[in-house]
Amino acid sequence: MNGAPTEDDVVEAVHVVADDIGSMEIRGAATIADAAARALGVQAAESEAEDPASFRAQLRAAARVLHDTRPTAVSLPNALRYVFRDVEGTTVEELRSSVRESVAEFCDRLDTAQNDLGRVGANRLRDGDTVMTHCHSTDVLACVETAVEQGKSLSAYVKETRPRNQGHITADTLEDLGVDVTLIVDSAARRYLHDVDHVLVGADSIAADGSVINKIGTSGLAVNARDRGTPIVCAAQTIKLHPGTLTGHTVDIEMRAESEVIDPETASEIGDPTVLNPAFDVTPPRYVDAIITERGQYPPESVVTLMRKLFGEGSDHPWEA
Ligand code: RI2
């Protein structure tokens, strides 16, 4: 190949996965990470590069396509970083098999991490407890699933989570697990917090100061939970730790389409107001009781020690090299 890789050097399957992440067909921080890593694997398997330098350049181009889909969940760049870290070889075939191994290892570790996290989170839940959930988090569900497997009987208030109603997925999954589910509109959360033993939320990113970046509405829920004296914990694998925040970067909050909030016809009937649709918000550490990871439970303010251990002093962007 001569020159820089073009769009054509990125295999079709990578574009499909990127489109699905952008449209939220593939969504949830851990699921996005898994899909992005696997897409790099497909890029490697299907690359027609004839020399190692072209192969690497195409892999970087594919990573950029995946990286530029959604800005907030750090699990996506962390997944890409993981795959790039171990890519070694002096021939295209060696590089190809090294990417394959790296992707397999990453996806395996993701599964193991979620199971380990589930066991830590389940320790907090007692037989007969009621939880409240926000959005749909596979890390949160892992905690509930493990508790149910341990024989604990649980009830849940599930917030529908406007505008995309991911609470419906949570309700469905919890019902399948045998949890007694009550679906509520987001604004009813405070009304029911006095019946709740634990608020459980996931995360798209955790900042170095322990702030939790999660689905819009998490911060209001956390403030209400603190006011009511209801413990609120965040279930987040360490892949959600945002290494860029160690060096002062902030986490980009994704703004999504107005059409997720209101259809154009209804908007026009009410005078076409400006519509804002932030997908995430930031909950300061003082409103969060604990962060549950596969490496144990951390007070939010001390998560920085874990972040330094796992990521060093900051983050690199190997796909830009
Ligand atoms: P898991 C989701 O974001 C939610 O904010 C959820 O709490 C978070 O990802 C973590 O999900 P979105 O993709 O990794 O629905 O725990 O915007 O599955």
Instruction: Give pTM, 2 decimals.
Output: 0.95
Residue whose tokens read 């295209």: 92
Q: How far is residue 201's CA from residue 234's CA, in Å, rounded to a whole number? A: 5
Looking at residue 45, its pLDDT comes to 97
Looking at residue 48, its pLDDT comes to 95
CA of 138 to the centre of ligand 1 (A): 8
Contact 154, 130 (CB under 8 A): yes
**pLDDT below 50 — which residues of the chain?**
1-2
Q: How far is residue 209's CA from residue 300's CA, in Å, rounded to a whole number? A: 7
Looking at residue 242, its pLDDT comes to 97
Q: Is 138 in the pocket of ligand 1 (CB under 6 A)?
A: yes
CA of 219 to the centre of ligand 1 (A): 15
Q: Is 71 in the pocket of ligand 1 (CB under 6 A)?
A: no
Q: Is 173 in the pocket of ligand 1 (CB under 6 A)?
A: no
3-state secondary structure labels for all residues of 286-311: HHCCEEEECCEEECHHHHHHHHHHHH
Integer CA distances (angstroms), 12 to 43, 268, 272, in order: 9, 38, 38
Closest by CA to 77, choosing from 36, 18, 35, 25, is 36
Nearest protein Cα to ligand 1, atom 6: 137
Looking at residue 2, its pLDDT comes to 46
Looking at residue 1, its pLDDT comes to 45
Nearest protein Cα to ligand 1, atom 9: 28
Q: How far is residue 210's CA from residue 286's CA, in Å, rounded to a whole number? A: 9
Q: Is 102 in the pocket of ligand 1 (CB under 6 A)?
A: no
DSSP 188-237: GHHHHGGG-SEEEE--SEE-TT--EEEETTHHHHHHHHHHHT--EEEE--
Show Cβ contacts of residue 84 under 8 Å, excluding neighbours closer than 6 positions: 59, 63, 318, 319
